[in-house]
Amino acid sequence: MSDMAKNLILWVVIAVVLMSVFQGYSPSSSTKQKMDYSTFLDNVKDGQVNTATVKSDQRTIEGTTRTGEKFVTVMPLPDLDLINELNRKGITFKGEEAEESGFLTQIFISWFPMLLLIGVWIFFMRQMQGGGGKGAMSFGKSKAKLMSEDQIKTTFGDVAGCDEAKEDVKELVDYLKEPTKFQKLGGRIPTGVLLVGPPGTGKTLLAKAIAGESKVPFFTISGSDFVEMFVGVGASRVRDMFEQAKKSAPCIIFIDEIDAVGRQRGAGVGGGHDEREQTLNQMLVEMDGFEGNEGIIVIAATNRPDVLDAALLRPGRFDRQVVVGLPDVRGREQILKVHMRKVPLADGVKASVIARGTPGFSGADLANLVNEAALFAARNSRRVVGMEEFESAKDKIMMGAERRTMVMSEEEKEMTAYHEAGHAIVGCLVPEHDPVHKVTIIPRGRALGVTFFLPEADAISQSRRKLESQISVAYGGRIAEDLIYGSEKVSTGASQDIKYATSIARNMVTQWGFSEKLGPVLYAEDENEVFLGRSMGKSQHMSDDTARVIDTEVKLLIDANYGRAHTFLTENMDILHSMKDALMKYETIDSNQISDLMARREVRMPAEWEKDLESDDSDNNDTSSEKTEEIKEVKEDKPDVNDVDESPAK
C-alpha cells in the first residue's frame, strides 16, 4: 500500500471518530430546550409544567410543559422543597437512572484535543520515516534511484571508443558475478572506482554498462542531491543511501559529478562546519570506516579530479582511477557506427571518413553530429542521410551555424574575404601546420568568416616549429588587411587572433621552455582560485626583472612570426587577390579550390555547384543546348589568377 493511501485512510478514520463523537454527544440537547432553574421554578408555581423526571444524580430534571414542549434544567444545589411543590401543583414526576454514556462522552471530548495532537504527531513521524525519501518531511532520506537488474539494458557493446577504460572496469563485472574467484586468492575488489575524463566522453554510459553486464541493483544519484540548506541533511542522506545499498548487496552506487560534494576541505575561506564538508566526512566514513561495506562498489564520475579531497582519493576509498579520454580516430569510427544504427544511411556514407574529419570530438559530440545530419536530411525532405548532410552537420558544429540573414555591405564582405584569405595562404606556406580544409565568408556563430584547418591525424604533442606556425597563421588575417587597406583602415576583426597568438607565445616562454635566454624553467603564475582551496593569496614566482625579460621574449617571438607571415603575403599578393575573388563569388571554398589557387591554376567549381548543374542537365534533356551554354558561361566567369590585376594595393 502506498504512503498516499495510508495517509488517506488515517484521515478518514479521524473524520469518522469526530462525527460519531459529536453525534453521540448532541442528541439530548438538540431536541430539548435548555431552561434556567429559576424559570423552571416560576413555571412550576404558575402550573405551566406538565411532567417532570428527576435523574438519579438529583441535579438534572427533564420534563414537558402544558404546551407539549420538552425541556431540561440543572439544579445548582439540591432542593428538597421541590418535591413538596410538585405535589401541591399536581405535577406528575418520577425518578430515573442517569445515562452512563454521557459521562464517558464528556471524558472523551475533554481528552479529544490531546488525542488529536498525538495523532498528528504520529502522522508527521510516519512521513519523516518514509522509505526512499518520498515522504513530505523526509529531508534526511537518500534521493538515490534504485534501478533493478531488469531495468538496465546497456551493455559494453553500447560503449565504444574507450577500450582501455572498459578493460579496467571488466574486473568489477567479474567480481560481482563470481566473487569467490577473487576471494580464494585473497584478492579484494576496489571499494570505489573514479571515472575521470572530459565532458561527453561516456563516463555515465560506462557505469550503466557495468551494471547492465553484472546484473546487480544499481543506485544512481548526483553529487548535488546530497547538499541542502539544512546542516546535517547531506550526511543523513549518505547514511541512508549506504543502508539501502547494504540491503541490496551486492550492488553498485553511482555518484555523478562527485566534485559537487567531494571538494577539498578547508578551501580558502570558511571552516569545516558547513553542510558540504559534513556530507564529505560522512561519505569518507561510509566508504572506509569501522564498518565494512562488503559487496558495495561505489562508482563516481567527474571531469575535475584536481579539486577532490585527498582523503577521498586514497586507497581503500577510490582505489582506482579510470581515465575516459577523448577517442582516437578508431574510437570515433566505432562511436559513429553505434549512433548510425538509429538513422537510415545512404550507400556512400563511410564512418571512417567522418571520423578522420572530426579530431577532438567526444562521444557526445559525435552523437550530436549524427543527430544534426539527420535533421539536415529531414529539412531537405530526404529519406536517407548522406555524406552531404554529415559534412553540413560537421561544419555547423565546428564553425558555427550559418547566419545568412546577417546583412553585410560589399566593403565589409571584401575585407572579410581578404582577412580569411590571409589566414589560408599563410597556413598553406608555413611548415608543419594543419592543412586548410575550408574557407568561408558566410557569418558563422559570432565570426564574420572562418578559416578551418583540419588535422591529418590526432595530435598528442606539438613541436616548437608548429607552434610558431600557428602564431604566423593567426596574424595572417590582420596582415592581409594592412597590405590591402593600410594601417588606418585595419578592422577589429583580429582581436581573437591576437589573443590566441599571444597566449601561445607566452606559454612557449613561461611553461614550455622554448626561450633560449630563460631556458627550460617554469615561470607561469599560480592560477589556482580560492574555491579550489589551497590559498587565498598568490605567491610571487618571479622578480620584476624576470617578468620584463619574459615580456621581451614574447614580443620577439611574435615579431619574428609576424614578419614571416608578412613576407609570405607580400610575395604572394596575386594569390591573395585571387582567393578574395573566389570567396566573393562562391562564399565558401574547399581544399581542392585552395590547392588550385596556391598552384596558380584555374579554380575548379565547387562540388555542390557541379552536382546541381549535372542534375539540372539530366532533368532537362530537351533544352540541353541552352543548359550547356549556361554551364559554359558559369565556367567562364570563374576567377583566373592570370587575369588578376597585379597593381599595387590601394
**What is the model's pLDDT at position 132?**
43
Q: Which of 177-186, 326-335, 466-475, 506-515 comes out lowest in average pLDDT?
A: 177-186
The whole-number pLDDT of residue 33 equals: 78
User: pLDDT, tens digit, for every residue of 54-84?
Assistant: 776 667 788 888 877 888 888 777 777 777 7
C-alpha grid cell for residue 538? 598568490
Helices (H), 324-409: 329-340, 351-356, 363-379, 387-399
Q: Which residues pair with 194 in a beta bridge?
A: 300, 321
**Nearest in space to 197 (alpha carbons), one of 169, 176, 225:** 169
**Is 419 assigned to a binding site?**
yes
Answer yes or no: is 200 a known binding residue: yes
Specify the range with the lowest mean pLDDT, choosing from 287-301, 432-446, 512-526. Answer: 287-301
User: What residues contact residue 584 under an 8 Å CB cut-off, 6+ apart?
Assistant: 413, 414, 417, 441
Residue-level pLDDT at 622:
44
Share of the chain above pLDDT 70, in %: 74
Of 152, 155, 165, whose CA–CA distance to 331 is shortest? 165
Task: Find out whether 577 is annotated in a ligand binding site.
Answer: no
pLDDT for residue 290:
61
Mean pLDDT of 250-279: 74
Q: How many CA atoms lie within 13 A of 286 on its CB side?
A: 24
Residue 6: predicted pLDDT: 61
Q: What was the pLDDT predicted at 572?
A: 92
Q: What's the fold here for domain 3-103?
A: 3.30.720
Q: Give the distance, in angstroms, between the CA of residue 331 and the centroid of all CA atoms in the same chain.
A: 24
Residue 159 backbone dihedrals phi, psi, to 5 degrees: -110, 120
| pLDDT above 90 as % of the chain | 17
420 catalytic per annotation: yes
CA 351 from centre of chain: 28
Domain layout of the chain by residue ranges = 3-103, 145-323, 329-398, 410-632
Please, how many CA atoms are within 13 Å of residue 313, restricted to the half-sphere of its CB?
18
pLDDT at 368: 92
Most confident of 130-139, 304-313, 403-412: 304-313
Q: What is the mean pLDDT of residues 539-566?
A: 88
| Threshold 0.95, pTM exceeds | no
3-state secondary structure of 640: coil
List 372, 414, 420, 481, catalytic entry: 420
Superfamily, domain 410-632:
Peptidase M41 (1.20.58.760)
Average pLDDT rounded to a whole number, residues 265-275? 57
Name the range with the highest mean pLDDT among 5-14, 154-163, 431-440: 431-440
More confident residue, 360 or 97: 360
Location of C-alpha cell 547531506: 234
What DSSP letter does each residue of 181-229 carry, written as one string?
A: HHHTTT----SEEEEE-STTSSHHHHHHHHHHHHT--EEEEEGGGS--S
Output the pLDDT for position 423. Answer: 94
At residue 471 the predicted structure's pLDDT band, cuts being 50, 70 and 90, is very high
Average pLDDT value over all residues in the chain: 77
Compute CA 523 distance to the chain's CA centroid, rounded to the nearest angstrom: 36
Assigned C-alpha cell, 598: 596556391
Q: Apex CA 274: angle with CA 268 and CA 279, to 5°?
A: 110
Q: Is pLDDT of 639 > 70?
A: no
Of 378 and 142, the one with more pLDDT: 378
34-43, 165-174, 359-368, range with greatest mean pLDDT: 359-368
| CATH number of this structure's domain 329-398 | 1.10.8.60
Residue-wise pLDDT tens digits, 210-236: 888 878 888 888 877 776 655 567 777
The answer to whether residue 273 scores a pLDDT higher than 70 is: no
How many residues does this entry show for the chain?
A: 650
Q: Is the pLDDT of residue 121 over 60?
A: yes
Just give the CATH number of 145-323.
Answer: 3.40.50.300
